[in-house]
Amino acid sequence: MKRSVWVAALFAFAVLSGPVIAADFKKGALITIPGTFELKAPPSAVWTALTSWEGFGALTGFQPTGPERSFSKVGDSTAAQVWDDKGTLVVTGLVREKELRVTWEPATASYLFAKRVVLNPSAGGTTLEYWDRYTDDQPNADETARTVARDTVQHVAAFRKMVEK
């Protein structure tokens, strides 16, 4: 009996106190910029470049602000900067010579960001599949996405030059 009275009281409180969920929210977009390209180098060489600071920076545009290191296991992290944003890169997935997933934790915690790279052997060397995903709640999200897409083309060219020496 006491339990049913307690449940009824809790229900009445919830109904009378209004919604528990915050009514304020901000709408945003999830932007995905995919790419697939061929590299004239074996997967092992592409992997070595990709997981080095120089190679990851060339492909993604991130610049180290902490000690330079390579990505070798899930949990590896390092301070970095992209555009005017500073934060931390964290490896969230890694299958050696196959797949690398890295998230970006901006110091402002104002958006979410992830990179995924998958390598597959091909007749000419390596097929690299690339996804750049981030959230954007600013009114100019489309313009920013176009800028990121243009930057990605330049980054891929720099990475290709590095790998295909």
Q: Please give the full DSSP string across 47-106, using - where no structure is assigned.
A: HHHHTSHHHHHHHH--EESS------STT-EEEEEETTEEEEEEEEEEETTTEEEEEEEE
Please check the confidence at residue 20 and state whether its pLDDT lies above 90: no
For residues 84-100, give the mean pLDDT.
Answer: 96
Within a domain: 33: yes
Within a domain: 8: no
Domain that holds residue 47: 28-163
Within a domain: 15: no
Within a domain: 53: yes
The confidence score (pLDDT) of residue 142 equals 94
Within a domain: 10: no
Predicted TM-score of the model (pTM): 0.83
Residue 21: count of CB within 10 angstroms of its CB: 6
Within a domain: 32: yes
pLDDT 10s digits, 40-65: 999 999 999 999 999 999 999 999 89
* CATH at residue 97: 3.30.530.20
- Cβ–Cβ under 8 Å, residues 94 and 73: yes
Within a domain: 76: yes
Within a domain: 11: no
Count: domains in the chain = 1
- Cβ–Cβ under 8 Å, residues 131 and 148: no
Q: Name the 3-class secondary structure at 116.
A: strand
pLDDT band for 14, please (50, 70, 90 cuts): low
SS3 content of the chain, % helix, strand, coil (to 5): 35, 35, 30
- Cβ–Cβ under 8 Å, residues 140 and 16: no
